[in-house]
Every structure is written in structure tokens, then in C-alpha cells.
Amino acid sequence: MAEAGDILIDGLPATVADLAHVALVNYGAYTSFRVEGGGARGLDLHLERLEASALELFGEAVGEARLRDLMRAAVGHRSECWLRVSLFAPELSPRTPGWSGRPRVMTAAFPPPSPLGEGVRLQTRTYAREEAHLKHVATFGLIRARRAAKAAGFDDALFVDAQGRVSEGSLWNIGFVRGRQVIWPQAPMLAGVAQALVQRGLEAAGLSGATESVGLADLSGFDAAFLCNSATPACAVASIDGHAFGPPPLEALRAAWASQPCQPI
């Protein structure tokens, strides 16, 4: 994890007051990604996510130029790191919910996390993240779902609605494979950057992509499944509940992701 000296707020070392607000008021949004050689894959999508979240949650965008400046300051001399960029406002709290303005930007740089694994076994949990289109900091529900799945002997949790329709995972998006086609679930969820990068590169990798409503009753119609996030371009899903899958075309999926170049910060 990040050390205290690695956490900056608006480009300056974080103060105790700043961190106290972040710790006590879980209203905000963030994005996180691997920095490689001063750039990041899908940086345009991460910037779009931050700007859209700032407008929706605080009423004012930060500005792409300022976000880039703060990202560069956070990365500093590092050639590679994991960068988290968060938005918050100390003026906004349960007692003062009506504040509107440009949010503050907290950055934290630390070593890149390891990939999620291989051949993961998923347990379905009936759950939907609040305001699922946002990568927000209210993570109680997803941590509880992931904890329950692990306690039951699974590797992670896959979210479904009351009708058994698949949406997303605890920290990742899921894709299903039918022949040479990748099917992404159609449901309220966070539009993942890794998901978008894989989708952008599918054609060059000899695959195609589509979006469909996917129910638990539909699992037998797929050959394979995989999950992806910014730390894990593609990871095979071995099973969902009691349904086992064959191996997905990981080499092609990872090639699709890798075909999207790093964009300079």
C-alpha cells in the first residue's frame, strides 16, 4: 500500500485534516491504473471517468490539464507504479450535502498489485452496487459480498440481480466466450477501462464482441468466461457456482488488451 509520504492532495502532502475527512466521509469517486514509462493504457478513459464523476457528484469538473499535472506530480521519478486518483470535497458531508464546486484531488502511488489469479471459482451473490455506473468509494457491499464468497470456499463474488441476470464482479468485469465471440453482460455496472481496452482490440486479435443480457440459465450456452480489470487484462473463470467452463482464449484476449498503447500522462 501507499506510504503516508506518497499521498498528495492537490499536489501537496496530505494533512491530518484532509485524511480525517476522507476516512470519515465516504462520498467521492476514484480511478486507478498501472503507470508504465510515464503513461497508462486507456488514460483517456480514466480521465473521462474522473471528469464525469466530478460533474455528477460535485457539480464541477476538475479539468483534464489539472488532472494530468497532478498525476505527473504523483508519479514523480517512478518509471512504473500503481496510481490511484480520488475526488473528494471537505465541504460536503451528511450535514452539508448541498455544497457544489470543484472537488479536491487525492493521489496515491504505490507498487502495482499482482493479477487476480487464474482459474477463479465464482459464487453468485444477489447484489447491485449503488449507482453502479460510478467508481465510487462506497465499497461496503462489495467487500461484504467478496468476503462471504471467500468464506464459502470460493475465490470471489459475481453479482446478479433478483432475476439471476449477471452484471459485474467485486473488482472486475466479466466476459463470456461463445466460439470466437466475446459477450459482455448488459446490466447496470461500471464500464471498466480494461473491458473497453479488450473490446477495442478484439477484431485485431481475431475475435468479435457483443453485449447481451446474460442470465444464470444461459451459462451452459457459453464455452468459457474470463474476468478483467486494470491489474488483470484477462483471467480465466473456472466455474460459476456449480457450472464449469472450458479455458478461454487468454492469449488472444491479452493480445487485444496489449494492442492498445500506453498514452503519456
User: Which domains are assigned to the chain?
Assistant: 4-110 (3.30.470.10), 120-264 (3.20.10.10)
In angstroms, the CA 51 to CA 87 distance is: 10
pLDDT at 117: 83
Assign residue 16 a region: left if phi > 0, alpha if psi is -120 to 50, beta otherwise?
alpha
Report the pLDDT averaged over residues 43-56. 98
Distances (CA, A) of 168 to 71, 100, 129, 145, 234: 28, 31, 9, 12, 14
In angstroms, the CA 166 to CA 221 distance is: 14
* Type of residue numbered 232: T
pLDDT at 2: 58
In angstroms, the CA 48 to CA 64 distance is: 9
Q: For 175-188, what is each residue's pLDDT tens digit?
A: 999 999 999 999 99
The DSSP element (H or E) to which 263 belongs, if any, is strand 262-264
In angstroms, the CA 202 to CA 191 distance is: 17
Q: For 91-106, what is each residue's pLDDT tens digit?
A: 999 999 999 999 999 9
Among 240, 232, 178, smallest CA distance to 34 is for 232
| Model pTM score | 0.94
56 has a pLDDT exceeding 80 = yes
